A and B are shown apart, each in its own frame.
With several copies, the nearest count.
Chain A
Amino acid sequence: MKKLMSGNAAAGEAAVLAGCTCYFGYPITPQNELTEYMAKRVPEAGGIFIQSESEIAAINMVLGASVAGARAMTSSSGPGISLKQEGISYLAADELPAVILNMVRGGPGMGNISPAQSDYLQATRGGGHGDYRTIVLAPSSVQEIADLMPLAFDLAEKYKNPVVVLGDGMLGQMMEPVEFDHIRKPKSAAKDYILTGAKGRPSRMVRSLIFDVKEQEEHNWKLSRKFQRIEQNEVRYETYLLDDAELAIVAYGTAARIAKGAIARLRQEGLKVGLIRPITLWPFPSKIIQETSKTIHDFFVFEMSAGQLIEDVRLSLEGKGRVHFYGRPGGVIPTPVELFRIISRHYYQAQREKKS
């Protein structure tokens, strides 16, 4: 049965239903509703909620809970996520599962509390130190938040790697009808890497200090083989009205839903525009973009930042096809109408150039 819920609350509810028993977080707008939801919901469900003294403490509590075998998560926004980078690097190095939710706001610095997509590079390139990647999931509706949270925990445990869910202030605070009936608790598979006290088995150590450079290098290659597996198996995306399209918008999250609004109008006017919506920002859906470039020449990157997603689109295209860009950083929520105007301009121009 559907409920009208904010993205923040839905994320929390979905996490709990997916077996998340530990939430550690520190308040920051625009994700406070999640922390507050968990303060009530997690203890009800018999789990652990701690409002930590800082974001750094939170990510390290997550690490502790994870190494103890629990499904644990934290959430924050902009500045708070920057503070977690060391901890995320440790989680990746220790090969521990964890889910980190970032309801992105305008930045850099203090910025503001309005929705933005300017933490894309941080999330996809590993804002922390060393060779590692985090899986990055980008929902574009409250329902999709509820759908991706369980997936986030599953992937985190499957690959023993931190997973970032990248939302924004709008997705976090807006309410939409959402239902959770499909979410199942995970069948508890015994984890052979966690610390439980060494009773009846050899003792274990979880660490990322590897003085021997050869060993460390082997560890790095082991990780990067894992990342390659993830790139092969876990790419997710949505395509929308691509078949007959002459221009493909590439956008994720909130920007993608605005793009759909624009496409509706564009189609009314007979402009053949489609959409590629990455759902995993890392691994990035390069293949579909390459595929598409065989039939479509113009790619229109639309994001709520000064230009970050565009790097991955250019890396995917490698010169095949023309990349257009429209960005609105700083917490501005662009309207479908404005996007419609911009795109039609680019569209006709592209047509003219084809002619000549």
Chain B
Amino acid sequence: MGYTLATAAMLEGKHVTYFPSYGVEVRGGTANCTVAISDEEIASPVASDPEFVVAMNQPSFARFQSILQSGGLIFVNSSIVDVSSARGDIEIVAVPTSELAERIGTIKVANMIMLGAFVRLSNIISYDFMIKNLTDILGEGKAKLIKLNKEALEMGYNYVKE
């Protein structure tokens, strides 16, 4: 999802960096990544106090809600993440991505659903641009899945409409 977001931003002409979670030499644990998007050059791809966090599972939620800047938005996969322990000074966007995904028929698109929601509420990048250029963004590889992914994006986008 981070990679897709970063690619979209790049194609939109923004400065962008993508930093994967470190620890190729540490086994287990959950993966994570940091995406920085800006109109100026980006000094450091690591975020000490990000504006947005997306947590697709409990450990990630526990680990990253703490570094979110106060007033920041945290997107959680509410299907499996229990947010009872959340900080008070942050805003939680609960998206039951797993369930929603099952409706479409494949858990694989959970990320795209979350991305749709993220794009809407973060408005760092343009949703329409993303939909228009989805093929370039996802690259030849996923070409056949365009329809499916588009659907997922929309679903997430609309889920957080109100």
Contacts and interface: CB of A to CB of B under 8 A. Distances in A.
A binds B: yes
Interface of A: 2, 4, 6, 29-30, 32, 113-114, 169-170, 173-177, 211, 254, 257-262, 264, 333, 335-337
B10 interface: yes
B25 A173 contact: no
A175 B48 contact: no
Contacts of B40: 264
9 contacts: A2-B10, A4-B10, A29-B24, A174-B45, A175-B19, A176-B16, A258-B43, A264-B40, A264-B43
Contacts of B6: 4, 175
Interface of B: 3, 6-7, 10, 16-20, 22-26, 40-46, 48
A333 B46 contact: yes
A250 B145 CA distance: 49
Nearest to B16: A177
Contacts of B41: 257, 260
Contacts of B20: 6, 173-175
Contacts of B42: 257, 261
Contact of A30 (B7, B24, B43): B24
A211 B19 contact: no
A170 B34 CA distance: 12
A113 B18 contact: no
B19 A335 contact: no
A32 B18 contact: no
A6 B24 CA distance: 15
Given A32-B24, A175-B6, A264-B40, A337 B48 contact: yes
A336 B48 CA distance: 10
A261 B6 CA distance: 20
Contacts of B19: 170, 173-175
A2 B43 CA distance: 20
**Which are the 8 A-B pairs with shortest beta-carbon distances?**
A261-B43, A175-B18, A174-B45, A177-B10, A336-B43, A174-B19, A335-B48, A29-B24
Contacts of A29: 24-25
Contacts of B43: 257-262, 264, 336
A173 B25 CA distance: 13
A170 B45 CA distance: 8
Given A113-B22, A258-B44, 19 more contacts: A4-B3, A4-B6, A4-B7, A113-B25, A114-B22, A170-B46, A173-B20, A173-B22, A175-B18, A175-B20, A176-B18, A177-B16, A254-B44, A260-B41, A261-B42, A262-B43, A333-B44, A335-B48, A336-B43
Given A174-B45, A261-B43, A335-B48, A4 B16 contact: yes
Contacts of A336: 43-44
Nearest to A211: B26
Contacts of B18: 4, 174-176
A176 B17 contact: yes
A332 to B, nearest CB: 10
Contacts of A211: 23, 25-26
Contacts of B48: 335, 337
Nearest to B41: A260
